[in-house]
Structure 1
């Protein structure tokens, strides 16, 4: 049993209490507050866990002020529940809950597309000239109509706060990893540069060497492969080396 804290406020809640059954691996997610007291925690446990599943034989919990309070200890004694507090040097004691927490935190992350109309881009082909860039993770809300986005290091020259009218929420598939979204392009000298995945072919055109390339994030898509002069692949020496 553990908490995920410091989440964006939703219906006045800013945390989630995660309870995992060690036998069935079933998880219960309960909205809570970061300032929860031991009394409130006991009431939540009775309302959401005991009322549906009865009393557990034992509880594994992370060390924390709300868990180790005298009230919680007395409550467990009255209910004949054995408390096993995770040792400071053995955090794996509550490893099941930690793993569930990691998965839940991934689902809680919000990603958005960013409209490209106000950002200069140099696309390798018109077919890559999408109306939206990204997806990007939302870090926080700024004011009432803007959001702060998490950009890759290459985008450090771009101001990361955008009005909501320039954003569109990413609709993730219900099946994990079913559709891998293409990564955002890198920025080289404040210009957008799409990464080359591999070279498929080469030819001489007017005495200059050209390569047929696949773009990272769009591999195995014949409609996206394009011919580019060798001078455009100066930042991809490994791709050229692998081709030859």
Structure 2
């Protein structure tokens, strides 16, 4: 469900250049499962700024390079017209080890998965 993932974790040392557009990176043991060669578009020059670096030991990264976040609250609602259908969307604030972020999700899916985020007053809508 996480759409606004942290942009980068690290920094990590570049071990060697592989071809014209890829580099092999020295990854910690907790990230040893994925391949260690990355395309240059996935890498950024490291400029020290502690607010931009997310320590990988704070983020529990799964084998498929994803991590879990939980929805904290519903912040807004809107209806969107798509191919003649009206789809109700909610702005969900997500929280996790990387802090808070927000994303638009389909309201019906969020109600099914996380009913506790929605007011339970019958016959009254807060949107």
> TM-score, normalising length from structure 1?
0.26
* Structure whose alpha-carbon radius of gyration is higher: 1
Whichever structure has more helix as a proportion of its residues is: 1
**TM-score, normalization: structure 2?**
0.42
Structure with larger RCO (C-alpha < 8 A, sep 6+): 2
